[in-house]
Chains A and B, each alone.
Chain A
Amino acid sequence: MHRNMRNSFRWQEKPRMCYQPSDDLFYWKIHTKTPSFFSTLKQDAAAGSSSMMSLRALALIGASISGILSFGTITSADEAEHGLPAPNYPWPHKGILSSYDHASIRRGHQVYQQVCASCHSMSLVSYRDLVGVAYTEEETKAMAAEIEVVDGPNDEGEMFTRPGKLSDRFPQPYPNEQAARFVNGGAYPPDLSLITKARHNGQNYVFALLTGYRDPPAGVAIRDGLHYNPYFPGGAIAMPQMLIDGAVEYEDGTPATESQMGKDVVTFLSWAAEPEMEERKLMGFKWIFVLSLALLQAAYYRRLKWSVFKSRKLVVDAVN
């Protein structure tokens, strides 16, 4: 009775002579009419047509080899175009449960403010974001009050300027992109709010770039107004070297060497791009743990319920 019902559910084209284990389980899986490449190989092998199988196998091997070989030509392309890949630095916040070095964020903000803010905006970060991360509320309020912000219109319909508040964004050095390009020889100093996420291998790239100004190799000439940096795609960057030993005097007395400032400013920029990182890691660790336990429970429950089917025995009562 069960076998008669089975044939009415099957959508396969070929009539099957023998019992197949998949029959027992009420799969509603639709078998596709065009079998895959690998299944044709298997069918040919099963049918005993060895010449067809070897031809197909040969075609597969040939296609994969020519595909792999074609990648070899890419490495000989101009390396300066892609820029020298940045090495991987052991960032203190890199681990699965590691937090930011908040003292480094504080120093990095100081570097940004004194060295970078004259050309680079960070228009997505507000002063209030710094509270509890790098500065106390009083310190941040005092910092914000140092800038002038255009506000308004007032009751008379006029725009007015006022000292900054916690809710204000970081000030922009230029009113618009065109002004920024005009002052910087046609090059636009990008907004740094998300820069470590906006560049491939962002944290390592920015650190390598800032500390990687060198003499160009033999045969490479950089025009006036540009500077050589091997990590920058193309090699010629408009920004001169900004991190110079002693450029900043750190509040906490840390010696302000080029690489120290680079590390601190990249930590600050990483925080600016991913302020949620610490909470994300905590949440991720917690939920991966919880879901692993749930997986174990679900697997046990599934096997418990399916044990009835899996231990079922059928008797084939056929007369030939």
Chain B
Amino acid sequence: MADEELTDPKLYLEETCKPKCVKPFWEYQACIKRIKGDESGQKHCTGQYFDYLKCVDECVALKLFDKLK
């Protein structure tokens, strides 16, 4: 039977991949700081966010399917 506590391996792998993607993560944090006081609503950090997610995704994709049935 399925165990009560289901832990998604993807979340676990994303945590382990975060240290490998520190540079885009800090770029994203820097962007957040830059646009903090913005009132116009035109500024956003999608680019830096995507760069960070791309790095994490590539790292996770290599190992995820090994953990799934």
Contacts and interface: CB of A to CB of B under 8 A. Distances in A.
Contacts, number: 90
Interface in B10-69: 10, 28, 31-32, 35, 38, 41, 43-50, 53-54, 57-58, 60-62, 64-65, 68-69
B8 A259 contact: yes
Given A217-B44, A235-B46, A257 B35 contact: no
A165 interface: no
Given A87-B57, A245-B6, A257-B8, A79 B69 contact: no
Contacts of A86: 57
Interface stretch (A52-60, A65-73, A174-182, A248-256): A248-256
B45 A218 contact: yes
B49 A246 contact: no
A249 to B, nearest CB: 7
Contacts of A214: 53
Contacts of A256: 2, 6
B46 A80 contact: yes
Contacts of A104: 69
Contacts of A208: 57
A246 B2 contact: yes
Interface residues of A, number: 36
A259 B9 contact: yes
Contacts of A230: 49-50, 53
A90 B67 CA distance: 12
A198 B1 CA distance: 36
Nearest to B40: A219
A235 B49 CA distance: 12
Interface residues of B, number: 33
Chain A interface, >50% SS class = loop
Interface in A72-86: 78-80, 84-86
Contacts of B6: 245-246, 255-257
Contacts of B28: 217
Contact of B10 (A80, A90, A254, A258): A258
A57 B47 CA distance: 39
B8 to A, nearest CB: 4
B68 A84 contact: no
Contacts of B61: 87-90
A91 B43 CA distance: 38
Given A257-B8, A263-B65, 11 more contacts: A80-B46, A84-B54, A87-B60, A87-B61, A89-B65, A219-B38, A219-B46, A254-B2, A255-B2, A255-B6, A257-B7
20 contacts: A79-B50, A87-B60, A88-B61, A89-B64, A90-B61, A90-B62, A91-B65, A217-B45, A218-B35, A218-B44, A219-B44, A220-B44, A230-B50, A230-B53, A245-B6, A254-B2, A257-B10, A259-B10, A260-B68, A263-B65
The 7 closest A-B pairs by CB, nearest first: A219-B44, A217-B49, A87-B61, A87-B57, A245-B6, A259-B10, A257-B8
Interface of A: 78-80, 84-92, 104, 208, 211, 214, 217-221, 230, 235, 245-246, 249-250, 253-260, 263
Interface of B: 1-3, 6-10, 28, 31-32, 35, 38, 41, 43-50, 53-54, 57-58, 60-62, 64-65, 68-69
